[in-house]
Structure 1
């Protein structure tokens, strides 16, 4: 079996991978200088593509899959598979009978902590008060509506997407004595720390009860643009919306209008809608309406998963799928190519 690492793996990473895979497994990775360790070009991988049995990596150069004549397993080193779906890779793998595995859950703790950071920072006006303090000013009068902190204790938080990340957010929210409502595709499956679980068709009735709404759902054809004008209108004007999923789950225009008209108290996001139509419609990873510049908005430039322990766990969990495949066992984190996760 030949395993091709789609990144400039360090000696320690390669030694670990070779050490846990069956004896005789060939493990190769690009060598030399690089601009981005996790984004090699096709040219840097071309010599090993044709006879590789397994790919493992964070990025796939254009044309790589089509020329992988022996490929049987693709270990995608992300939780979300929407990037693969966007370039047609999931459909291609399904057509060719190539199994796809992801590392869902590997960054769950980091992203859940990030979500709670957003909840607290919005509630307490952290950034605004920090800037006021840096300028040597004081907030006056005390207990003014505009500067008084919101509370978490006894409040209701809704979690849209109660998977590995959402379930941890629920656990952390319980530490603040919050009432937790969940929304997920399979509402019959109970999740610890969620007081009441709802289905996607109940989303509006859920968010109208919430003081905080956290979106942690996977990005699929069904969830894209699913949070729009009706959902935002159903929320309390005093509520906060937090998105640690993909930006395209929320419609940008109604979000902008809600934030600028007092219909929504605040918003925080780790990632933004990705516009990629081409020259006539400018490609951008930032909001076209400059939502990220609004005073009641917090951003974190897609770095929720960039935390201690995550990279090491990514590698370990990705290699676990190869070990399971080589042993003829079910792959724990195999992706359902019809659902996209």
Structure 2
């Protein structure tokens, strides 16, 4: 904070990848903030949303900048879980031989199976498109249920999870973390899933409750889990977006695949982040509507 404290009072605009605690106490002239992330829940949790609303500060993000990379990462997780990629790789390296069609190494299929995508924005929409290339049946969940979405066979609301989860073979979480979606998937939702289902999270850790997830994975209630995001337990407000794993050891379970905030770490993404973050400010000071302005009421 000491490094930027002297700069904040005169700033009309800020573009940032992270925010030091207390920064907004010194930004009385601030008119616009360009956030170099897609998710804005960290800003909301630190009270920035309320302050921006009180002062009339505009907020924009770079949503969509990493959509291609994260959607591809999500499908990598789906395929790796379904095909038991890591398990088979380890067996080969350890010199273990299994007979063909052995149940322990038998793959799950994508063709003809049902995928539920929670969140149908830039990332979720691309995931649905990829799933259709595998001949999957795609269900979508969004705030505006019922509105048709390309490559999605049926669209539901967040209140429908218990009804649709028993039909799903794969579930991918790609929704923003808001007051409405925080802790969205808990004991009841996990219990409604098939025991053979796979759950993938490329959004924010706060959408899935940790203890019920651990219980489902260790009791046979869920076949597997993969995530790029992990719980933070109240520290590290703004960067990175994930923690260092699970204090319960979810990331160490044999039916879990992990990466740590690396889904967006792909070719082209960083340059696009910089371009779009800068473009937000150019649009604002040119008096144009910001294409990626964040709705402070909705949180995205």
| Counterpart in the other structure of 2:71 | 112
Pairwise mapping of residues 1-341 of structure 1 onto structure 2 (< 5 A)?
42-140=1-99, 142-276=100-234, 285-341=244-300
Map Cα deviations across residues 105-156 of structure 1 (whole Å, 9 max, x no partner). Answer: 111111000000000000000011111111122123x222221001111111
Structure 1: where are the runs of 5+ without partners?
Answer: 1-41, 279-283
Q: Deviations over 1:237-260 (max 9, x none)?
A: 111000111111111111111111
In the alignment, the residues of structure 1 paired with residue 104 and residue 92 of structure 2 have an alpha-carbon distance, to the nearest angstrom, of 16
Q: Deviations over 1:24-81 (max 9, x none)?
A: xxxxxxxxxxxxxxxxxx2322332221111001101122221112110000010000
Gaps of 5+ in 2: 237-242
Distance 1:252 1:47 in 2: 40
Using structure 1 for the length normalisation, give the TM-score: 0.84
- Classify the secondary structure of the residue corresponding to 1:165: helix
1:96 CA drift (Å)? 1.1
The higher-RCO structure (CA 8 Å, 6+ apart) is 2
Question: Using the alignment, how far apart are the partners of 1:320 and 1:188 within structure 2?
Answer: 33
Query: Quick one: distance in 2 between partners of 1:132 and 1:332?
Result: 49
Query: How many residues matched?
Result: 294
Structure 2 vs 1, CA of residues 296 and 189 (structure 1 numbering), >3 Å: closer, same or farther? Answer: same
| Kept in 2: contact 1:248–1:274 (CA 8 A) | no
Distance 1:253 1:48 in 2: 43
Q: Distance in 1 between matches of 2:235 and 2:97?
A: 46
Aligned counterpart, 1:19: none
Deviation larger for 68-77 or 45-54: 45-54
What secondary structure does 2:140 align onto?
Answer: strand
Q: How far has the Cα of 1:286 moved from its partner?
A: 2.7
Provide the secondary structure at the position in 2 that maps to 1:208. Answer: helix
Q: TM-score, normalised by structure 2?
A: 0.95
Find the aligned partners of 1:231 and 1:103 in 2 and give their Cα distance. Answer: 31
**C-alpha distance in 1, partners of 2:47/2:77?**
33
What is the RMSD computed on CA atoms of the aligned residues? 1.4
1:235 Cα deviation from its structure 2 partner: 0.8
Residues 247-285 of structure 1: per-residue CA shift (max 9 Å, x gap): 11111111111111111100001111221279xxxxx64
Q: Is the 8 A contact 2:216 2:222 kept in 1?
A: yes
